[in-house]
């Protein structure tokens, strides 16, 4: 009898957590968005304490300009920080937080390529990918400890949670988004940059540049992503539709000039 009740409760929880991503994929998301936002805020605060923040007005204005153009398309108030780190990395967190490493500015050669990076990361947040991973790994067993774990990133649980949020590499662990989630972020991110008036064709050039870094080895940012050839093939397959979106944005006067 108890097993039947447990099974029924499990099914009810699963049904209650069913959601649909922006691309139409079914997801299991059990965590309240408010708690995910709190976790994102705590993670971002921790990162700013432990990683030097770049105070250069030029770098900050440039990254902020690109991020503003992207996030204007989705709404909300987004906080952006540039971190002094030579790795070609970037991330976005629940609660509307965006981080870009200075190393990424050496690989993303222009505003359009940086928009491809930021669009991809914002797409992860809007697609609730962190919530999906946290739900799968921790929601039933220790959901109540998640926020506290983020405040202690050096602990085993803290490292795991930071990894699931997408920023765990700085604390010794990286729990990758799945290939499905990465492809989804590419697809949605390409649309976001096109809607904002950035040239989606530059997304292909970005990933070519990324593949040339670290003496032919994929940088940390790409270590868990689909292969370069798969990514570029997928981007090109979606290019015609996004070029039409880009032209519409240009005709509407959306012409970012971030330098």
Using one digit for the tens of pLDDT, what is the confidence trace for 209-250? Answer: 987 875 544 544 444 555 667 788 889 999 999 999 999 999
Quote the mean pLDDT of the chain.
Answer: 81
Q: Is the pLDDT of residue 83 over 90?
A: yes
DSSP 185-243: HHHHHHHHHHHTT--TTHHHHHHHHHHHSGGGSPPGGGTTSPPHHHHHHHHHHTHHHHH
Chain centroid to Cα 227, Å, comes to 18
* DSSP reduced 3-state for 168: helix
121 is catalytic: yes
Q: Is the pLDDT of residue 182 over 90?
A: no
Q: What confidence tier does 95 reach under pLDDT thresholds 50, 70, 90?
A: very high
Locate 2 and state its tokens.
Answer: 């108890």
Strand partners, 27: 19
191 closest CA partner among 110, 113, 245, 234: 245
Q: Which is more confident, 216 or 97?
A: 97
Q: Tell me, what's the pLDDT at 174?
A: 43
Q: Tell me, what's the pLDDT at 58?
A: 97
Q: Tell me, what's the pLDDT at 116?
A: 98
Tell me the average pLDDT across 152-169. 59
What percent of the chain is predicted at pLDDT more than 90? 54
Q: Is the pLDDT of residue 60 over 90?
A: yes
pTM of this structure: 0.79
Tell me the average pLDDT across 62-90. 97
Strand partners, 216: none
Among 121, 132, 182, 184, which one carries the catalytic annotation? Answer: 121
Q: Is the pLDDT of residue 103 over 60?
A: yes
Q: Flag the least confident range among 30-39, 48-57, 137-146.
A: 137-146
Q: Tell me, what's the pLDDT at 244?
A: 98
Locate 38 and state its tokens.
Answer: 């709190």
DSSP state of 256: -
């Amino acid at each position: 009898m108890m097993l039947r009740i447990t099974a029924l409760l499990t099914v009810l929880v699963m049904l209650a957590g069913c959601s649909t991503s922006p691309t139409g994929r079914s997801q299991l998301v059990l965590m309240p968005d408010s708690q995910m936002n709190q976790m994102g805020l705590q993670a971002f605060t921790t990162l700013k304490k432990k990683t030097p923040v770049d105070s250069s007005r030029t770098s900050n204005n440039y990254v902020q300009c690109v991020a503003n153009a992207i996030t204007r398309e989705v709404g909300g108030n987004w906080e952006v920080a540039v971190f002094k780190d030579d790795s070609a990395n970037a991330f976005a967190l629940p609660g509307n937080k965006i981080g870009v490493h200075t190393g990424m500015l050496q690989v993303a050669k222009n505003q359009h390529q940086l928009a491809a990076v930021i669009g991809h990361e914002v797409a992860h947040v809007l697609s609730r990918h962190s919530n999906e991973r946290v739900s799968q790994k921790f929601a039933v067993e220790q959901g109540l400890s998640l926020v506290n774990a983020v405040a202690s990133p050096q602990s085993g649980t803290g490292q795991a949670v930071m990894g699931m949020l997408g920023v765990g590499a700085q604390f010794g662990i990286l729990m990758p988004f799945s290939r499905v989630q990465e492809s989804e972020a590419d697809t949605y991110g390409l649309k976001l940059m096109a809607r904002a008036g950035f040239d989606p064709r530059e997304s292909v050039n970005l990933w070519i540049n990324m593949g040339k870094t670290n003496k032919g080895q994929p940088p940390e940012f790409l270590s868990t992503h689909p292969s370069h050839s798969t990514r570029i093939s997928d981007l090109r397959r979606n290019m015609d539709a996004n070029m039409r979106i880009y032209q519409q944005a240009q005709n509407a006067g959306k012409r970012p000039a971030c330098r």
